[in-house]
Amino acid sequence: MILNQLNQSQREAVMYTDGPLLILSGAGSGKTRVITYRIAYLIKARKVSPFNILAVTFTNKAAGEMKERLEKLIGLPARTVWVGTFHSTCARILRREIERLGYSPSFTIYDETDQAGLMREVMRELNLSERRYNPRSIIGAISRVKNELIDHDQYAVSATEYFETIVAKLYKGYQSKLRQNNALDFGDLIMLCVKLFDEHPDVLERYQNRFRYIMVDEYQDTNFAQYRLV
């Protein structure tokens, strides 16, 4: 049996399926291994459909390794399990549902280079110098705000310091251009997914019914937006 490869504590974690479970242990102690074996146990021993399981990681590398390990444990059913990063999971959901928010499903996801280029456009339009305001630093500030699920209107209301008022103007212009281009950045992926679920309970219910088992690797590192999503 697959559980023979685990120690007693790991087996207990894998076999616990009645409600929420938080695993706290040091680095290298096998937390990711437990998640992988737990998915295998749910499918093989508890006869849970792979379709009803979601596993979320922080990096594409971790997601790839989890898929690989899972396939070695249970074979083809592993391919039906939804395994991905927070961002790829949200992108996948939004491709199916984002029309509810007024976007086209063919939206583009901007990387850091795209974001910086777009911010430079906004700064030129507002006559702001790149020497004084570094585009990547502004993008970083906006990303941190998005991690708190604060949109540009909310941020503008709370901005009191001079630099914050500049960021607020740039945030608004940046989001406007993203929308014009039918584009999202990484912060938008999670922020809009939360917005989708908040504003459309029927969509939320559909995914809640689908994902009966949700497992998050490195849960202690989640920010507020990721916490709300889960």
End-to-end CA distance of the chain: 31
Q: How confident is the model at residue 31 (pLDDT cuts 50, 70, 90)?
A: confident
For the beta carbon of residue 5, count every other beta carbon within 10 angstroms: 11
CA–CA separation, 95 and 184 (whole Å): 12
In the chain, where are the structural domains located? 2-98+190-229, 110-181
Q: Can 2-98+190-229 and 110-181 be said to share one CATH topology?
A: no
CA–CA separation, 48 and 139 (whole Å): 42
User: Where does the chain have alpha helices with state H?
Assistant: 8-15, 31-44, 60-74, 86-97, 112-125, 135-146, 152-158, 162-180, 186-199, 201-210, 224-229
Supply the pLDDT for residue 20: 87
State mean pLDDT over 175-199.
98
Q: Is the pLDDT of residue 119 over 90?
A: yes
Report the alpha-carbon angle 116-118-124, nearest 5.
100
Q: How confident is the model at residue 29 (pLDDT cuts 50, 70, 90)?
A: confident
Pick the CATH number of 110-181 from 1.10.10.160, 3.30.530.20, 3.30.310.10, 3.40.640.10: 1.10.10.160
Length of the chain: 230
Cα-trace Rg, the chain: 20
CA–CA separation, 179 and 54 (whole Å): 29
CA–CA separation, 201 and 198 (whole Å): 6
Please state, in angstroms and as integers, the Cα–Cα distance from residue 136 to each residue in 57, 114, 132, 218, following that order.
26, 11, 12, 27
Supply the pLDDT for residue 151: 97
Q: Are strands 82-85 and 53-57 parallel, antiparallel or unpaired?
A: parallel
CA–CA separation, 166 and 170 (whole Å): 6
The structure tokens 């479970």 sit at 21
- Please write the tens of the pLDDT for every residue from 37-75: 999 999 999 999 999 999 999 999 999 999 999 999 999
Topology of the domain covering 2-98+190-229: Rossmann fold (3.40.50)
Supply the pLDDT for residue 30: 79
- Please write the tens of the pLDDT for every residue from 83-118: 999 999 999 999 999 999 999 999 999 999 999 999
What the block records as the tokens of 12 is: 């207990």
Q: Is the pLDDT of residue 35 over 90?
A: yes
- Please write the tens of the pLDDT for every residue from 149-160: 999 999 999 999
Supply the pLDDT for residue 1: 60
Q: Is the pLDDT of residue 208 over 70?
A: yes
CA–CA separation, 185 and 19 (whole Å): 34
CA–CA separation, 54 and 216 (whole Å): 8
Q: With contact defined as beta carbons under 8 Å apart, do 107 and 206 qualify?
A: no
CA–CA separation, 116 and 121 (whole Å): 9
